[in-house]
Amino acid sequence: MIALLLATVLPAADATALRVVSFNVRNSNAKDGEDAWPKRTDLFFDTIKTLDPDLIGFQEVLADQHDALVARMPGHTFAGVARNDGQRAGEWSCIAFRAARFTEIARGDFWLSETPEVPGSKSWDAALTRICSWVRLRDQRSGREFVYANTHFDHIGKVARYEASKLIARRVATLAAGAPALLTGDLNINEDNPAYAVLVRPESADAIRWIDAFRTVHPKRQPDEASFHGFKGTTQGSRIDFIFHSSHFVARASEIDRTVRNGRYPSDHYAVWAVIDWR
């Protein structure tokens, strides 16, 4: 049975709250045997249907998965490009937003490098090209605009993750220009990492001070907060998947979705979700 968590915490009357999800899909090229993408696709989309996101950031999406997402989520509009060439080569960190609720104002992408406008660029000690995709939306329910960004940090480069945090905190601040902002992503770090500290305690005045939605709801850190499990159902450990927001918002609820069906999981990461309300 798929665990129904999100739908039970957001009162129907609270129509302006935002359901936000971050979900690493596990790329379709991986040699995962019984956990390979074709064998878990239905469970993956069943999980998304249960989570019922207004906004969702995906990571590790390859072209065939991107096309499947677009085809099987017709109520959502997608934003973002693939990281290798700014088109369809390599992984997406794409965004989906509920089409009936949001009006798109602008969209874009930048690379986590010293030349963020150059498609396919990488810098510092990064092993792979990394990207951040963003969209500026108007919420038709509240009438307010906000910027939503989604990313996937490098899995090797310690300097690259640190510099990526600084770049995103400054760049999204510029894009938002004082408007509210949201950030989701697989950051390949936990809360002890200096790259996390840069996000929640920025070094410069021109950067957003990101607030960790899950930690707001669960102030005391627990030993069973793993968001990566490698298809093993592990819970012991720390999150590496996050939902952040600017001070314009407040997190009302946030959990790690532990969906499992017949011993199988929708991905090697658990989806992380939050209910975010306007402050």
* Domains parsed from the chain with CATH numbers: 18-278 (3.60.10.10)
pLDDT of residue 13: 39
CA distances from 170 to 18, 32, 164, 182, 277 (A): 24, 37, 10, 13, 23
Mean per-residue pLDDT, 257-278: 98
- Interval 214-266: pLDDT, tens: 999 999 999 999 999 999 999 999 999 999 999 999 999 999 999 999 999 99
Angle between helices 63-72 and 37-51 (to 10 degrees): 40
Q: Give me the residue label for tokens 């669960």.
A: 218
Mean per-residue pLDDT, 181-185: 98
pLDDT of residue 1: 39
- Interval 93-122: pLDDT, tens: 999 999 999 999 999 999 999 999 999 999
Q: Give me the residue label for tokens 């108007």.
A: 138
CB atoms inside a 10 Å sphere around CB 231? 18
Mean per-residue pLDDT, 190-197: 98
Mean per-residue pLDDT, 135-158: 98
Q: What is the pTM of this model?
A: 0.95
Indicate the pLDDT class of residue 127, thresholds 50, 70 and 90: very high
pLDDT of residue 14: 75
Distance in angstroms (rounded) separating the CA atoms of residues 202 and 20: 23
Distance in angstroms (rounded) separating the CA atoms of residues 213 and 211: 6
277: which strand partners? 250
